[in-house]
A and B are shown apart, each in its own frame.
Chain A
Amino acid sequence: MGALALAFMVLPVLSLAWRAPWSRFGSELAKPEVRDALRLSLVSSFVSTFLAVLLGLPLAWILARAQFPGRRLLRAVCVLPLLMPPVASGVALLLAYGRNGTVGRSLGRIGVHLPFSTPGVILAVTFVVLPYVVLTTESALRTADVRFEDAAATLGATRSVRFRRITLPLVAPSVLGGAALAWARALGEFGASITFAGNLPGRTQTMPIAIFLALENDPPAAIVLSLILIGVCLATLLLLRDRVLV
């Protein structure tokens, strides 16, 4: 059964490599629309991962350390984007930040239109990947020994010094692990992005969307783009593992 499971996972990837028109890599990468899509994918995945860490850390801190009624409910809310179908997330984002959305209408008045824009892609991707950072960081903070902070306090460390120099370094491996997971998920994000930000080449067309469209018009190109995306993802994670995660 184990071998079956392995074959089940490996076979599609091998088929991809087997059927790949390897000679077309150069010409595909030379196409401006492919490079645009790749660039947008990289930018949106890194920016949204950064935002997820920035926003996720304080939230994880509150979930792990603060005592207040409704904490468990709040935690469930934080898991929600993980459970929602990405397309449904896209629809929900449209209802909130769309032209007629609850927040989007006010944003529109001050000239900010998120749907069908690059920031819109980033918004959608961040929404989807935020739970990865929050959950891994929260569990790390929960299991971290708070007495290290006590020890730091008796050595004269103020609350902010304790957080920056003791707590954060102690949970950093978990935060980075969560961020890596979030980034890999962000790079492949499709449903929420296409629903909320659409498919505008150069502005909102990320690699996954480009692949999906290529499959209809030019299947070999879709194979090439898929392999490129897989390659970028693996290369980045391996690089991170060697430099940061060890």
Chain B
Amino acid sequence: MVSPPGPASGLVAPDAGLDVNTVIDLGSLHLDVSFTAPPGATVAILGANGAGKTTLLRLVAGLWRGASGHVRLGELVLEDSAVGRFVAPERRPVAMVFQDFLLFPHLSALDNIAFGLRCRQPELTKAAARDMAQVWLERVDLAGHGRSKPGALSAGQAQRVALARALATDPKLLLLDEPLAALDASTRSFVRSMLAEFPGITLVVSHDHVDARTLADHAIVLDNGSVAQAGHPADVLARPRTPSLAAMAGLTLLSGVGDGTAIVFAGGLSVPCSLVGPAFVALAPSRLDLATHCSADDDRDNAAADNTITGWPGRVSTVTALGERLRVEVATDAGGHIVAVDVAAIEAERMLVDRPVLVRVPHAAVAAYA
């Protein structure tokens, strides 16, 4: 079971970890987030656009000051509104990789990396900083690109320079905003292994459930400025509570009310379940099936006879090709719920928009949770 959302949910932090409790009102967004992360943890921050993911990173970095709350990193109190403490971003042992990299356009790739080194270690000479930067360039497999200006780098190369620039400052906390978005598959696995070697705490904002599963050992889901879910990424993604997280995980999310024998959704659709009270049902499109060959009434009779499958009549609303499969979205006749079903590409000619179909829901495919 997933632990209920709330302060410090799920992630029990020893003193040496990260402890964030921050509130800020930005007009369009009221952010109120608490979470903790143990030393060495990688925490995926998931959620829809505008849910507050980047805002949270900026608050932890000190680029914005929270209206109240605290940010503690091990022994360091980076921010504590109770005592009026606020450590400026340049004095926090925190590095950030921005979504669009923000490499300084007037500095070469090498000097971009050396910049942070010299800021964090003022005793370094220019030459020494450049030597260290060169080592970092080699580490991200860009040894020959030191003299290139950011404008001459590909997105993947710029991304790696940005990552090297952040890691070179030897942060205790690394903040990554969509770190793998611009990378091709081979670079992704390269960067993943680099992040795995990073000893500090990492917060990583992501839109990609694969990134969340492979990079992170914890996940928090933001919804409209607050923590909607927290826990292990696989658990969180298997039991989404917000439509955006369900979409990210590729699941259909329905919410209904359980009466002890079934969960009933708006419009009267139901699936058998013993839960009582408000409940969610997540359905994986690959585990559902569509019937189009006979009349819905026949099929409903069949489904009724087979007490391991429930049938929901509806009409095809959209069809999208996904490689070998077709993702068919069906609007159910009862309640107008949109249910995604994967079918073989060979079925394409039968999946006409507005055609009546029957969504077959095997009871074994129903993941229900309160």
User: Does B90 contact A148, Cβ atoms closer than 8 Å?
Assistant: no
Q: How far apart sit A199 and B116, CA to CA, in the bound complex (Å)?
A: 55
- Which A residues are CB-close (under 8 A) to B98? 147, 150-151
Q: For residue A155, which residue of chain B has the nearest CB? A: B116
User: Does A155 contact B102, Cβ atoms closer than 8 Å?
Assistant: no
B residues 292-338 touching A (CB-CB < 8 Å): none
User: Does A161 contact B102, Cβ atoms closer than 8 Å?
Assistant: no
- Which B residues are CB-close (under 8 A) to A169? 106
Q: Is the interface of B mostly helix, strand, loop or mixed?
A: mixed
B residues 60-91 touching A (CB-CB < 8 Å): 61-63, 88-91
Q: For residue A153, which residue of chain B has the nearest CB? A: B89
User: Does B95 contact A155, Cβ atoms closer than 8 Å?
Assistant: yes
**B165 interface residue (CB < 8 Å to A):** yes
User: Does B90 contact A156, Cβ atoms closer than 8 Å?
Assistant: yes
Interface size on A, residues (CB 8 A): 17
- The total of interchain contacts (Cβ-Cβ below 8 angstroms) comes to 60
- Which A residues are CB-close (under 8 A) to B91? 156
- Which B residues are CB-close (under 8 A) to A147? 98, 102
**B119 interface residue (CB < 8 Å to A):** yes
- Which B residues are CB-close (under 8 A) to A161? 119
Question: Which of A145, A148, A154, A158 is B96 in contact with, Cβ under 8 Å?
Answer: A154
- Cβ proximity bits B187-214 to A, threshold 8 Å, 1 near / 0 not: 0000000000000000000000000000
**B115 interface residue (CB < 8 Å to A):** yes
**B120 interface residue (CB < 8 Å to A):** yes
**A176 interface residue (CB < 8 Å to B):** no
User: Does B105 contact A157, Cβ atoms closer than 8 Å?
Assistant: no
- Cβ proximity bits A154-168 to B, threshold 8 Å, 1 near / 0 not: 111110010001100
* Given contact pairs A161-B119, A166-B104, A153 touches B95 in the complex (Cβ within 8 A): no
B161 to A: closest C-beta gap in Å: 12
With A152-B119, A153-B62, A165-B115 already in contact, 13 other A-B pairs whose C-beta atoms are closer than 8 Å:
A150-B58, A150-B89, A151-B96, A153-B61, A153-B89, A155-B115, A155-B116, A156-B169, A157-B90, A158-B90, A161-B119, A169-B106, A170-B106
- Chain B interface (Cβ < 8 Å from any Cβ of A): 58, 61-63, 88-92, 94-96, 98, 102, 104-106, 115-116, 119-120, 165-166, 169, 175
- Chain A interface (Cβ < 8 Å from any Cβ of B): 145, 147-148, 150-158, 161, 165-166, 169-170
Cross-chain pairs A/B with CB under 8 angstroms, 6 sampled: A152-B115, A154-B95, A154-B175, A157-B115, A161-B119, A170-B106
